[in-house]
Each structure stands twice: as structure tokens, then as C-alpha cells.
Chain A
């Protein structure tokens, strides 16, 4: 009887790994142990309601996968970025960094840990074991600009940026292009709310005053691409009952009646996917650009958006989106 049970158990054990390996090939390293992923956040923390929080949601989803062990780290100030990445790399199979400021740190540490895979989100860095993921924000921002121009009565739009980073410039450029595509008479007021990387995306009050500033000058639709700083801008816009457009996540829940839509950057999906390729053949070093067509960027279309955007606006936006996806319209990164 016990022999039989032993035989059955042995047989099951022999077969199981094969089954797991065969199913999706995800999650386990060659020896069958779970894959270790370390995710490093920047000084803005995880609850900026936009970029970092989206990454955090991706981490949560990744944790649900049985073959993964996910660790979180946070660089509390700029000086600690390098150290954080290094600590993350130790004992991990993959390191995911969230934020463009990790570029130099990743570049350094990746060389130190050639066995570890590095996925840097929005950081411009390269290496044999480095994969950097960038987004074509301009495509989403184009749609946002079109929406803003369609909804604006004063024909004056406001753009609040966090800092002069490439991604923010892409947001800005796309926004202007989209707005002027719809209505060439529209004008855009731009404000960069922050001055240094440490506080630029973590200064809601600055966003608040910046939004107040552009609204004083007549803007009635404000697009903020400034992380947590944008929260203050949206609040200022909501306080004056004007319209705003969110960024990175659908924040219309937070500012009901005020936020028309948002340019959603599906960082969560990217993080999750990256974690799942912890040690599979699907992971490849090199630069990856994601945009509207692969649904990494999208314009939020939740219940609030549907409520605030009239049907003709929405259909127009759909149309434009289709054009971009099909490649009929190319939005330059300028």
C-alpha cells in the first residue's frame, strides 16, 4: 500500500515540473525555483496617482503570479538611487526601475551584475542585459489635445509639465499638435511647475499655483503631465470648475465633474509583463517603444469621460485614434 502511494507520488513529482514548464514557460528558473524580481521606485514614492502608482499596480498584479517573488525598493532621495539599484540587483533575477532618473544607476549596476536582467522604464540606458522601455506619449497627448481643443470655449489651453524631460516634451508636443489639428486657432499656455528632479514631480502646490496662473490667463482646459505635481493642478482646475485632463492613470475618479479624460500610460501592464519574463526567452535587451497601437498608451474612456465628453467629441477622437493606430497619421515626437 505504501509502496503504491510512494510510486504514485514519485510519478506525480516527475511529471509536475514538466507540466509547469510546458504550460507557459513563465515564472520558474532553470532549477525550478521561483524567479526573483526587484522593483525600484523613485523619490516620488508609489502613490502619485499617476506614473509610479501605475507601476505599483503592476507590481501587485505580478505578485499574484505563483512563480514570482517580487520585492519593492524606493530611493528616498536622488543620492540613494545608485545604491537602491545595486541593493535590488543583489539576489534578484530581474530588476525593474521606474523612472527616467535611474538611467545612470542602471547603466552602472547592470555592468556589475551581468547575470541579472534590467528593465528600465523610461530611463535611457543600454547594455547587454538592459532593456529600456519608452512610450510614445505624443500619440496619447495628441488625442488629449484634440479633446481639449474640442471642449475649450476660450480656445486657450493650459499645459503644466513637471520638468523638461523628453517624455514631458513628448506630452507637450503631442498635446499642442492634437489641439491645433482640431482647431488651428487654439493657443496653449505652458508652465513647467518644477525646477529639479527631486521635487518636480512631487510638488502638488506648485501645480496648484501653476494651474491658477494659466487659468488667470484664460485657459479653461488644463493638461498636466507632472506626476504628483499635477494633482495640485487638477485640484485648482476643479476648484474653479474648469476642465482638466489627467495623465498616466485614469484619474477622473479623483476629480469628478472636472477631469474630462486622461492619457493613460499602461505602466502596470508593462511592469507585469516584464516581471513575467523574469527568466524566459521572451525578454530581450534593447530599447522598446510602446504606443497607442499596442495599447500601452490610451485615452481614458471611463464613465466620467463618457459623461463629460459629448458623443460627437468621442466619435471624433475614436476616428483620430484609428488613424494613428493604422499609421495613417503619425504623431512626431517633437
Chain B
């Protein structure tokens, strides 16, 4: 089972869950506090609003209760009064219920509420008394009206009776005046409003009645008309002064009204108290609401605070978790990893790679380590030699370039080659050779300082960069030391090897402006030292460079020369020694460079061979030679055999047989008029292939000749292998014929051997008559050399063909008649005739 890992996914989930959880927590807190607040608000509203409503209703009913009062004073109808009474009762009941409601809302009786109840009760009492007083007043007034009507009737009677009185009776007059006074007073009664005035009026009336009483005996005695009034006055007196009289009624009415007014005044005082109490309740309620409101606000504030805190904390917690588990842990490390990747991709393999942890990021880090190591390895492999571990060419050139680019940079490059390496390798095998190379590499590493660099450029080519080393004395001393170290024998298993190091030195910036040049020049120096056998150390000089430069130029121009026709063939006649006749010619290529002038084949043929240009060159030479020979044959200048030189490269590296065949076909030259001159070296490499092709050419009918015979690693067995028909004695032997016995002996031997093999012999480099005579005497078949002619342009050669050759005018070996087996008749014959 895979161990449970706290990887990226888990961390992201953790962070996510934390954020979600914290959000949830904050939401919960918000919910709870919101809930709480709404609860409080609801409580407040539900608690107080009904209370307020009840209170307002209470106030309303209180007002209603009191509002009836003033109007009562002006009611003049019993029915209306009853209505008021009923309304009052209803208002009181409503008020009582309102009080009860408020009590219920408040949950308990407060002193204020009790006070209100009390005040309402008192108001009700006052109202009831008021109403009752008014009721009595109205009843009294009704009775009063009745009394007044009766008095009116009496007044009517009085007026009638007054007519009976005689104006001159003194008693009558007194009666009249009192009676009038009474009448007037009675009429005033209704207007009276205070008990004092009422008493005064009553006194007056009573006084009048008393006077009338005192007059009564006199009136009865006198038998005047006033006597008639007396019963009326008695009746009046009853109405006026008895119980239930108008005075009484009026007095009682005033009293009742006074009581009513008092009650109204009391009611107004009570109303004020009631109003005050209700206001108190209202403000208490308001205060409670304010308190409740303040409480709610405070709680809301608190809850806001809590919410803020919890949100903040949640946020902080979530952020911390995210930061810790995602930010630094994942993103941070990913970024570091990305930076490392970028650095490594950019080439900086030393960039640190985060591999800590147990998750995908660390996995990636470890994978990156693997890649980086592989990259480093590739780099190393790309810049170091696999066998020895030294730097390779590329690295060396890079370092050299860098060094040279620094200002004031100078130093020495030492190219090292092991002279005997190839032999050691061939003789003792590759393992030994490798061990030798390893030993050399170790020694070079040892010799190199920190700022130096040792490299292996090729099989046995090493190079050492020594920056800062420029003084010739210093260099010499250094080289001596180095050579000693390298030349010391290398112990390998049972034998000791000597590497025979050869050193080539080039300095920079003295010997080159770029790394490649400096290195190349060191190499040149080493090569020249190597070629020259001694000494083992050579300094580069410019001529090395020049030679290389020249060769490069030649290579580049040669191609052009082939195409542009700057090449031409010169022909050196081959002369039949016995007859002196020209039987053929060797075609030699000549190059006339438009700028450099004549470039000798010694220079450009090796270049051509190394560059492969020998193929097109050789092909051109073959074609041109055949064409020319055929042309001359067609022109009737004789069947001359043209000899073309071929390098081993041509034989081995192209379809030489095909080319020869094609050329013969194209030019129409008979095959036997074509001779191919090749050196023995052609068989040294791929013998089988060479033999096959040579045989094929011979089968075409083409003649083959061995050129420069006697030089090089000649093997006599080749003589029997090579399908040649001719042997050419090298001119080195010919030239020294007269002076050196060995040359003469060798020439004689070669000629004899060739003839034994049935081969024709051609001697090259015949320069003097003596040479010619000797060779002729020895039986050499053909001769070639400056004695006869130097290589000639085709026109010159044509002229030579046309006119008798000059050598034939010379006396041919008159001095030694033993050497004159032929006739002197100058003639020439066509070959084959």
C-alpha cells in the first residue's frame, strides 16, 4: 500500500477546507448574532409596541372620559343627560379595560398605573356627581318654570284687580307699591346668580309681604278696593316664600350648579394629573424603548465586533493556513523549482534544487536533479575526452577563446604529439596504447596549474594551455621541464614505454588573433618538428603558416582552375633508345595561375590528393591526354602512346575503369595508345581492390607502368602481381649514373630484372648524352629526360614531331663504337607501321 502522503493535492484541499471552514465559522457567527439581534428586536417590538398601543388607548379613553364633562353644563335636556351618563359609563369601562391592558403589558402594576386608576376613579366620581347635580338642576328648573307660569297667572289677575284701586286712597297706594315691588322682585329671581343676592331679594320680598300684612287690618276696616287684592297676595306669598317656592327652587338650582362647577374644576385638576401620569407612563415606555434600543444597538455593536473579529480571525487563520500549506509549502517551492529549472535550462548547472519534503514538488525536484546530472554528464562528455578525462578540443578552444578575449591576455599553447604512438599501438595493441595515453594524460594534468588547461585533441594529440607564460626564457625553462616529464619512460605491466613526445609551441596574441589560429599554429609547429625528426621542440614561425595558407589557396583555386581551363598538359617525349624515335609522351599537368603565376605540381598535386580534387584533376588529365593523342594520330603525326600519371587515390576512390573506358570511347583513342603510370604504393592499402582494377584496365587493352620504381617500400612480389607492362626507373638513379656505382649497378639490375619479367623499361631523368649512352648500352628500352626534351606545350611538341629531333643530329656515342648498334640514318617512323 502506498504510504499516505501529504502532497500538493492534500494541501490544497486543506487550505480550501480551512477557507471554507473559516467562512462557515464566520457565517455561523454572523447568523447567530443576527439571530440574537433580531430576537432582541422582536422582543422589543413585541413587548413594547402593544404596551405603547395600550398606553395610547388609555390616553384616548382618558381624554374621552374627561371630554364629556364641560359639555354637561350646557345640557338642558334630560334625555341628553341620560345619554351623557351612558357615555360616561362606557368611557369609564373602556378606560378601566385600557388600564388593565397596560397592566397586562407591563406585567405588573406600577405606582403610576395605580395612580391612573385612582385618578380615573375619582374622575368618574366627580363626573357622576356632576351629572347628578345637573340632573337635579334640570329638574329644579322644570319645577321653577311651572311656578313661574303660576305667578304669571296671578300677575294677570293682579293687573285686573289693580284697576279697582283708587289712586287717592293712601293705603291703597301703599298696597300697590308693595305689590308692585313684589312683582318686580319675583321677576328678577331668575336673573339672580348668587345666594347673597338671592337673600337680599328674598328679604325685600318678605319685607314687602310683611308690610302688606301690617296693612291688612287697616284695609279691612277701610273697605277699599285693595281688599280685593288680599287673597291674591296670600296666594302670591305661598308661591314665593313657601317650600318649593321659586326662591327655594332657584336657591337650590344655584347650589346644584355650584356643586357642578366645583366638580368640573376638580375634574380639570384630575385631568391634569391624569395627563401627567399618562405622560409619565409614555415617557417610561419611551425610556424603556430607548434603553431597549440602546441595548439592541449595543448588542448589535457587540455582534458586529464579534463578527468582525471572527471574520478577521477566520481570514487570518485561513490565510495563514493557505500561506503555510500552499503559499510557502507549494507555491514557494514550485517557484524555487521553476527558478532552478530556468537556471539549469539557461546553462547554470550549479543552481540549487529544492528536494526537501515528501510531495510532488520534492518528486519533481528529485527528477530535476536526475536531469541536471544527466545534462552535466552530457556537458562533461561533450567537453572532455572519454578515455583520459582531459578536456576535449571544443572545451579547449572555448577556454582559449575566453582567455584571449580578456584584456592584456597572453600565454602559450603547447601542442604535444607522441612520435612513436602508431607503432606502439600496432605492435602492442590498443590496450597498451590506451594505457600510454592515460599515463601521458596524468602527467599533463600534474603539469597543469589551476589556470592552465590540458586537453586531448585526437588519438595521440594533446595540447596544453599555459596562460601568462610569454617570456622566452620562461618558456624554454618550462618546456624543458615539461619535455622531461613527458619523455620519461612509462612503466606498463612488464615493459617500459617511451612516448617520444614532440612539442609545438605557439604564443598568443603573438601567433594568432583567434583561438583556432593559435591552436592551429601550435599544431603546425608540432608537425614541422615531427616531420623534421629533430629537435623535439619547435616554435611556430610564420612560414609554417604561410605554407599552410598557400596550400589552402591552392586547394581553393584548383577547382576553379580545372573549370576555367588554367590547367594545361605539357608533353615530354619518350624516345626509343635504340632508334631515337619518339614513340610516345608523358602528359604532365601545368598550372598557370593568373595571379600567382606558375604553380608547380609538387605543390598542388599533394594538395589535390589530400583534398580529393585529384579525382576531377586526374579525370581531366586523362581526357585531355587521350584527346590530344588521338588528335595527333588523326593528324598523321604518328601513333604515339600517351602516358598519364594516376595517383592511388584515383585508382581506389572512383570507378577508374569506367572512367578510362569512357574516355577511350569518347576520344576514340585506341586503348593500346594509352599508358597509365602508377606507383607501387597503390597496392599498399587495399591490395585486392587495386589489383582488381588494374587487371580490369589491362583487360581494356590499356598499358600499365610502374612509376618511380626503386624508391619507397618496393616489394618485388608486386612485380609479379601487378599486371604491368612497363617499369620506369626513377630519375634519382639515372641522375647519379656517372658518379655513383650503386646507381649504375641498380639501374643495370632493374633493367635486367624488368626484361626477365618481360617488361619494358623506361629511364626517367636522362639529362646527358652519357646517361643516354649508358642506358642504351644496358638495354633500356625507352628514355625520358631533359636531354631529349623538357615537357613541352602541345604546339611545341607538334613542332618537335614535325622536324627531326635535335638529339638525332648529334653523333650518337661515336666515342664508343661498341655502343653504336644502329644506323645513323635520320628517319622516323610511325609506330605500328
Q: Check if B93 sits within 8 Å of A231, measured CB to CB.
A: no
Within 8 Å by CB of B135, from A49, A205, A209, A239, lies A205
Within 8 Å by CB of A47, from B93, B100, B129, B263, lies B93
| Chain A residues, Cβ within 8 Å of B724 | none
Q: Residue on A with the closest CB to B82?
A: A76
Residue of A46, A205, A206, A209 most packed against chain B (CB within 10 A): A205
Instruction: Judge if B768 is at the interface, Cβ distance under 8 Å.
Output: no
| Chain A residues, Cβ within 8 Å of B89 | 45-47
Q: List residues 197-248 of chain A with CB under 8 A from any CB of chain B.
A: 202-206, 208-209, 228, 231-232, 234-235, 239
Q: Residue on A with the closest CB to B121?
A: A254
Q: How far is the CB of B453 from chain A (nearest CB, A)?
A: 91
Q: Residue on B with the closest CB to A77?
A: B82
Question: How many residues on chain A are close to B (CB under 8 Å)?
Answer: 21
| Chain B residues, Cβ within 8 Å of A203 | 132, 135
Instruction: Judge if B259 is at the interface, Cβ distance under 8 Å.
Output: yes
Q: In whole angstroms, how far apart are the Cα atoms of A239 and B126 in the complex?
A: 12
Instruction: Judge if B124 is at the interface, Cβ distance under 8 Å.
Output: yes
Q: Check if B92 sits within 8 Å of A205, measured CB to CB.
A: no
Q: In whole angstroms, how far apart are the Cα atoms of A16 and B347 in the complex?
A: 92
Q: Check if A254 sits within 8 Å of B132, measured CB to CB.
A: no
Q: Check if A204 sits within 8 Å of B121, measured CB to CB.
A: no
Q: Check if A205 sits within 8 Å of B125, measured CB to CB.
A: no
Q: Check if B128 sits within 8 Å of A208, measured CB to CB.
A: no
User: Contacts A46-B93, A205-B135 hold; do A231 and B121 have CB atoms under 8 A apart?
Assistant: no
Instruction: Judge if A71 is at the interface, Cβ distance under 8 Å.
Output: no
Instruction: Judge if B256 is at the interface, Cβ distance under 8 Å.
Output: yes
Within 8 Å by CB of B132, from A46, A206, A234, lies A206
Instruction: Judge if A307 is at the interface, Cβ distance under 8 Å.
Output: no
Instruction: Judge if B118 is at the interface, Cβ distance under 8 Å.
Output: yes
Q: How far is the CB of A253 from chain B (nearest CB, A)?
A: 5
Residue of B121, B125, B259 most packed against chain A (CB within 10 A): B125
Q: Residue on A with the closest CB to B97?
A: A60
Q: In whole angstroms, how far apart are the Cα atoms of A228 and B135 in the complex?
A: 14
Q: How far is the CB of B563 from chain A (nearest CB, A)?
A: 108
Q: Check if A204 sits within 8 Å of B129, measured CB to CB.
A: yes
Instruction: Judge if B133 is at the interface, Cβ distance under 8 Å.
Output: yes
Within 8 Å by CB of B122, from A202, A208, A254, lies A254
Q: Check if B125 sits within 8 Å of A254, measured CB to CB.
A: yes
Q: How far is the CB of A34 from chain B (nearest CB, A)?
A: 21
Residues 105-146 of B, flagged 1 when their CB comes within 8 A of A and 0 if not, give: 000000000000010011011101101110110000000000
Q: In whole angstroms, how far apart are the Cα atoms of A49 and B89 in the complex?
A: 11
Q: How far is the CB of A184 from chain B (nearest CB, A)?
A: 35
User: Contacts A60-B100, A253-B121, A254-B121 hold; do A205 and B93 have CB atoms under 8 A apart?
Assistant: no
Within 8 Å by CB of A205, from B100, B118, B122, B256, lies B256
Q: In whole angstroms, how far apart are the Cα atoms of A234 and B121 in the complex?
A: 14
Chain B at the A interface: SS class: helix
Q: In whole angstroms, how far apart are the Cα atoms of A254 and B89 in the complex?
A: 17
Q: How far is the CB of B579 from chain A (nearest CB, A)?
A: 142
Within 8 Å by CB of A49, from B125, B131, B136, B255, lies B125
Q: Residue on A with the closest CB to B133?
A: A205
Q: Check if B124 sits within 8 Å of A205, measured CB to CB.
A: no
Q: In whole angstroms, how far apart are the Cα atoms of A203 and B139 in the complex?
A: 13
Q: How far is the CB of B233 from chain A (nearest CB, A)?
A: 32
Q: In whole angstroms, how far apart are the Cα atoms of A205 and B122 in the complex?
A: 15
Q: In whole angstroms, how far apart are the Cα atoms of A239 and B266 in the complex?
A: 11
| Chain A residues, Cβ within 8 Å of B96 | 47
Q: Residue on A with the closest CB to B263?
A: A235
User: Contacts A46-B89, A47-B92 hold; do A232 and B100 have CB atoms under 8 A apart?
Assistant: no
Question: How many residues on chain B are close to A (CB under 8 Å)?
Answer: 23
Q: Check if A47 sits within 8 Å of B259, measured CB to CB.
A: no
Q: Residue on B with the closest CB to A72?
A: B93
Residues 39-54 of A, flagged 1 when their CB comes within 8 A of B and 0 if not, give: 0000001111100000
Q: Check if B129 sits within 8 Å of A205, measured CB to CB.
A: yes
Within 8 Å by CB of B129, from A48, A60, A235, lies A235
Q: Check if A208 sits within 8 Å of B129, measured CB to CB.
A: yes
Q: How far is the CB of A160 from chain B (nearest CB, A)?
A: 14
Q: Check if A231 sits within 8 Å of B128, measured CB to CB.
A: yes
Q: Check if A254 sits within 8 Å of B118, measured CB to CB.
A: yes
Q: How far is the CB of B222 from chain A (nearest CB, A)?
A: 45
Q: Check if A206 sits within 8 Å of B92, measured CB to CB.
A: no
| Chain B residues, Cβ within 8 Å of A45 | 89
User: Contacts A47-B89, A232-B129 hold; do A205 and B121 have CB atoms under 8 A apart?
Assistant: no
Q: How far is the CB of A210 from chain B (nearest CB, A)?
A: 12
Q: In whole angstroms, how far apart are the Cα atoms of A47 and B128 in the complex?
A: 9
Q: In whole angstroms, how far apart are the Cα atoms of A202 and B135 in the complex?
A: 11
Q: How far is the CB of B456 from chain A (nearest CB, A)?
A: 92
| Chain A residues, Cβ within 8 Å of B131 | 204
Within 8 Å by CB of B118, from A46, A204, A208, A253, lies A253
| Chain B residues, Cβ within 8 Å of A228 | 128
Q: Residue on B with the closest CB to A249?
A: B121
Q: Check if A235 sits within 8 Å of B121, measured CB to CB.
A: no
Q: How far is the CB of A112 from chain B (nearest CB, A)?
A: 29
Q: In whole angstroms, how far apart are the Cα atoms of A202 and B127 in the complex?
A: 12
Q: In whole angstroms, how far apart are the Cα atoms of A203 and B263 in the complex?
A: 15
| Chain B residues, Cβ within 8 Å of A202 | 132
Q: How far is the CB of B667 from chain A (nearest CB, A)?
A: 119
| Chain B residues, Cβ within 8 Å of A234 | 125
Q: How far is the CB of A226 from chain B (nearest CB, A)?
A: 12
Q: List residues 75-94 of chain B with CB under 8 A from any CB of chain A.
A: 89, 92-93
Residues 161-189 of A, flagged 1 when their CB comes within 8 A of B and 0 if not, give: 00000000000000000000000000000
Q: In whole angstroms, how far apart are the Cα atoms of A221 and B42 in the complex?
A: 56
Q: Residue on A with the closest CB to B118?
A: A253
Q: List residues 234-277 of chain A with CB under 8 A from any CB of chain B.
A: 234-235, 239, 253-254
Q: How far is the CB of B80 from chain A (nearest CB, A)?
A: 16
Q: How far is the CB of A205 from chain B (nearest CB, A)?
A: 4
| Chain A residues, Cβ within 8 Å of B259 | 205, 208
Q: In whole angstroms, how far apart are the Cα atoms of A202 and B88 in the complex?
A: 14
| Chain B residues, Cβ within 8 Å of A205 | 129, 132-133, 135-136, 256, 259
Residue of A47, A48, A208, A231 most packed against chain B (CB within 10 A): A47
Q: Residue on B with the closest CB to A233?
A: B129
| Chain B residues, Cβ within 8 Å of A235 | 125-126, 129, 263
Q: In whole angstroms, how far apart are the Cα atoms of A203 and B118 in the complex?
A: 21
Q: Residue on A with the closest CB to B114?
A: A253
| Chain A residues, Cβ within 8 Å of B122 | 253-254
Q: How far is the CB of B821 from chain A (nearest CB, A)?
A: 148
Q: Residue on A with the closest CB to B124?
A: A47
Residues 236-259 of B, flagged 1 when their CB comes within 8 A of A and 0 if not, give: 000000000000000000011001
Q: How far is the CB of B816 from chain A (nearest CB, A)?
A: 151
Q: How far is the CB of A272 from chain B (nearest CB, A)?
A: 15
Q: How far is the CB of A175 from chain B (nearest CB, A)?
A: 22
Q: Check if A206 sits within 8 Å of B136, measured CB to CB.
A: yes
Q: How far is the CB of A227 from chain B (nearest CB, A)?
A: 10
Q: How far is the CB of A208 from chain B (nearest CB, A)?
A: 6
Q: In whole angstroms, how far apart are the Cα atoms of A46 and B89 in the complex?
A: 8
Residue of B89, B100, B129 most packed against chain A (CB within 10 A): B129
Q: Residue on A with the closest CB to B260?
A: A205
Residue of B121, B126, B132, B133 most packed against chain A (CB within 10 A): B132
Q: Check if A208 sits within 8 Å of B133, measured CB to CB.
A: yes
Q: In whole angstroms, how far apart are the Cα atoms of A232 and B133 in the complex?
A: 9
Q: How far is the CB of A52 from chain B (nearest CB, A)?
A: 10
Residue of B89, B121, B128 most packed against chain A (CB within 10 A): B128
Q: In whole angstroms, how far apart are the Cα atoms of A254 and B129 in the complex?
A: 13
| Chain A residues, Cβ within 8 Å of B121 | 49, 253-254
List 4 additional A-B contacts (Cβ < 8 Å) besides A48-B128, A204-B132, A231-B129: A203-B135, A205-B132, A231-B125, A253-B121
> Nearest 5 pairs between A and B by C-beta?
A205-B132, A204-B132, A204-B129, A205-B133, A205-B136
A-B contact list, 5 entries, CB within 8 Å? A47-B92, A47-B93, A48-B128, A204-B129, A235-B263
Which A residues are closer than 8 A to B by beta carbons? 45-49, 60, 202-206, 208-209, 228, 231-232, 234-235, 239, 253-254
